[in-house]
Amino acid sequence: MKDASRSAGEFRPATLCVHGSETGPGSPLTPPIVRSAIFRMDDAAYAARAAGHVDRSRCYTRETNPTLEAVEARLASLEGAERSLVFSSGQAALHALLMATLERGERVVAFRQIYGGTVDLAKLLLPRLGVDFERIDANDLAALERLCDERLRLVLCESLSNPLTLVADLPRVAALLARRAPRALLAVDATLASPVGQRPLALGAHLVYHSATKYLGGHSDLIGGVVSGSEERLRPVWLWRTKAGGCMDPDPAYLLDRGVRTLALRLAAQSQSALALARRLTEHRSVRRVHHCGLESHPHHELARELLRHTGGLFSFVVRGGDDEALRVIRRLHLFAEAASLGGVESLASRPRDLSQVGLSAEERALAGLEDGLIRLSVGIEDPADLEADLLQALG
């Protein structure tokens, strides 16, 4: 940014998306792709490594790389964080976060309404670490308080949940942990809200992570993950990224940096279109229920108004006729592709039970509120009138 007298915190999110990583005169306006695996060394580089500053000394791309550093600076600025780290996938980011944080005998608590891949990884990894894994309903502070003891180390939740768009009450959860379990960390999956929709660190979270594949990248052409937080908390996460090899490659890092520049525009348009479609579907005779936190009927509508700048482009609805009819509706759509993932410029439709929540048992799906006949939509940037017409013909 030309006006160096202003700190990043003084700029609004849309500005930070574009101007979050410049380093001063002579730096390229668009950060280049640096594909080199290794870098020339000198006495200063050796001294930095000897002093323990390996992560700041360019030697090997698995440790750091100029292209990664550029997008990490942009993301840290956007999150209001001291530091961000990019990974080869969202799951790699979560894996490093868990490994860097947990020790044998500790406990992890997760909201029941959380990404199925997070649950799958926790079930696979935590028993091997000797870490207990408990699940509670979103914002059930009484249940969380009962689990607050010296063993509680980590609480996992989504700022905006997939696919029911439940809103985590981050200030109250953070306050409870500070009061009853001060060594516990609150880690927030902010994939659906994105940093433009919410900054969890400003609301009391200690760590925030994303699947960068989704809204941050925005074009369904990269796989990546991000963890953001303080320098102190990110140091062990960086160590796990380096030693386990989960760093992002320079090419997707370049695509991610490019995608973030248009995040504010995309998310605003997608949020507006999604809410308009959700309102229209509430009127349709073939639809039993619509889950969108922007609707006044949603149980977390007031939380959404209080804590989110945008409600995002994802929501879900339940059709009459159950899962079979849901699949028939999806396959009658023309503009909504039947595909996994979310947050891209194109609109997508799927049954959560087939994709994001496929690892859950029927009982777990019921506990999480995932009814038969549930369809998840990820709204892109197409003309909203065309998307509405496509939905109506598929339902009709």
Whether 327 and 230 share a structural domain: no
Cα–Cα distance for residue pair 203/192, rounded to 1 Å: 16
Active site residue 214: yes
Of these residues, 74, 214, 241, 376, which one is catalytic? 214
Q: Which of 122, 93, 91, 95 is nearest to 109 (CA)?
A: 122
**Backbone angles phi and psi of 162, in degrees to 5:** -110, 120
**% of the chain at pLDDT higher than 90:** 84
Closest CA to 266 of 342, 327, 205: 342
pLDDT of residue 8: 53
Residues 251 and 178 in one domain: yes
Helices first, then strands: H and E counts in the chain: 15, 12
> Is 1 part of any domain?
no
Integer Cα distance of 260 and 85 in angstroms = 15
pLDDT score of 29: 87
Residue-wise DSSP of 111-139: ESSS-HHHHHHHHHHHHHHT-EEEEE-TT
Indicate the range of 100-109, 224-233, 239-248, 363-372 predicted with least confidence: 363-372
The residue annotated as part of the active site, out of 74, 115, 249, 266, is: 115
Domain boundary among 225, 240, 261: 261
Q: 284 and 238 in one domain?
A: no
Looking up tokens 């600076």 gives 73
The model's pLDDT over 114-145, given as tens digits with 9 standing for 90+, comes to: 998 999 999 999 999 999 999 999 999 999 99
Q: Identify the domain containing residue 153 by its residue range.
A: 8-261
pLDDT at 367: 76
* Contacts with 211 (C-beta within 8 Å, 6 or more apart), sequence order: 89, 90, 93, 189, 191, 224, 225
pLDDT bin (cut points 50, 70, 90) of residue 21 is confident
- Are 197 and 311 in contact by the 8 Å Cβ rule? The answer is yes
Tens-digit pLDDT profile for residues 245-286: 999 999 999 999 999 999 999 999 999 999 999 999 999 999
Q: What is the DSSP letter of 323?
A: H
Contact 199, 159 (CB under 8 A): no
| 2 has a pLDDT exceeding 60 | no
- Res 359 pLDDT > 70: no
Marked catalytic residue, from 49, 62, 180, 258: 62
Question: pLDDT of 51-92, one tens digit each?
Answer: 888 887 899 999 999 999 999 999 999 999 999 999 999 999
Banded pLDDT at 396 (limits 50, 70, 90): confident
Q: What are phi and psi of 165, to 5 degrees?
A: 55, 40
276 & 187 share domain: no
In one-letter notation, the amino acid at residue 139 is N
Q: How many domains does one find in the chain?
A: 2
Say yes or no: 288 and 247 in one domain.
no
Q: What is the DSSP string of 9-37?
A: GGS-HHHHHHSSS--STTS-SS------S
Task: Pick the last residue of a domain from 203, 236, 261.
Answer: 261
CB 299 within 8 A of CB 326: no
Residue 173 exposure: Cα atoms within 13 Å on the Cβ side:
32
> At 125, which CATH number?
3.40.640.10
> CATH number for the domain including 333?
3.90.1150.10
Confidence of residue 1 (pLDDT cuts 50, 70, 90): very low
**259 near 267, Cβ under 8 Å?**
no
CB-based contacts of 298, cutoff 8 Å, min separation 6: 165, 291, 292, 304
- Residue 205 structure tokens: 């979270």
Same domain, 310 and 167: no
Based on the fold, state whether residues 244 and 305 are members of the same structural domain: no
248 and 284 share one domain? no
Instruction: Using only the alpha carbons of the chain, give its radius of gyration.
Output: 21
* Residue 181 belongs to a domain: yes
pLDDT for residue 266: 98
Asked whether residue 187 carries a pLDDT value surpassing 80, the answer given is yes
Q: Report yes or no on 2 lying in a domain.
A: no
Judge whether residue 301 has pLDDT over 60: yes
Question: Known catalytic residue: 115?
Answer: yes
Decide which of 261, 290, 312 is a domain's last residue: 261
Among residues 55, 169, 189, 249, the one annotated as catalytic is 189
Q: Give the 3-state secondary structure of residue 390.
A: helix
Using an 8 Å Cβ cutoff, are 298 and 163 in contact? no
Mean per-residue pLDDT, 148-167: 97
pLDDT grade for 7, boundaries at 50, 70 and 90: low
